[in-house]
Amino acid sequence: MQARGLLMIEHRLIERMLSALQGALSQIESRRKVDPVLVDTAVDFIKVYADRTHHGKEEDILFRELEKKALPAEERRVMAELIQEHVFGRQTTQALIAANARYRTGDLKALKDIAQSLKTLIDFYPKHIEKEDKIFFPKARAYFSVEEDQAMLARFYEFDRRLIHEKYKQVVESLEKS
């Protein structure tokens, strides 16, 4: 498998989550309520899987390796765009977290903000994924030898292996502080 193959497999799971979130959004719009635990589950998936796991591999490994290569200005521009899109996803997720917290305290107006954040994420991610899968990844692949690509794939697997420990160390440290 090529390194980009693992990233594209992760994209498919993100797309499946987006479909599930579309169903949740439909329920919000029809029933005028949401299960805050469902929102927590969506947030956890987006923060841990889509952002830390998936975007982490892109930003911390793939993009850093590409920075060392003689990329044309256009490809550097697209890479910078992708990073900015990751930031946008993080900001939208933070807005979703804030709206869900308000909803939990009885602020029914927060439901509109929850719906808007979900809709934004549902609309945003497919375009972002398509840009990576169809434009950026194929071009980026050309800058790596087979050996470099396989070494990067090994780093991706190591990144994933360490991630669970990182997440739960943070959970424990957070609980210890409170």
- pLDDT value, residue 100: 97
pLDDT of residue 150: 97
Q: What is the pTM of this model?
A: 0.91
pLDDT at 74: 94
User: Span 3-171: which CATH code?
Assistant: 1.20.120.520
* pLDDT tens-place string over residues 56-98: 999 999 999 999 999 999 999 999 999 999 999 999 999 999 9
Indicate if the pLDDT at residue 7 is higher than 90.
yes
pLDDT at 21: 93
Give the start-to-end residue ranges of the domains of the chain: 3-171
Q: Judging by beta carbons within 10 Å of its beta carbon (0-12, 13-18, 19+), is residue 13 exposed, middle or buried?
A: middle
Query: pLDDT tens-digit profile of 35-50?
Result: 999 999 999 999 999 9
Alpha-carbon span 156 to 151, nearest angstrom: 9
> Is pLDDT above 90 for 6?
yes
Binning pLDDT at 50, 70 and 90, where does residue 178 land? confident
Alpha-carbon distance 63 to 73, whole Å?
14
Tell me the pLDDT tens digit for each residue of 138-159: 999 999 999 999 999 999 999 9
CB 114 within 8 A of CB 42: no
Going from the C-alpha of 60 to that of each of 33, 55, 63, 67, 128, the distances in angstroms are 38, 8, 7, 11, 18
pLDDT at residue 165 tops 90 = no
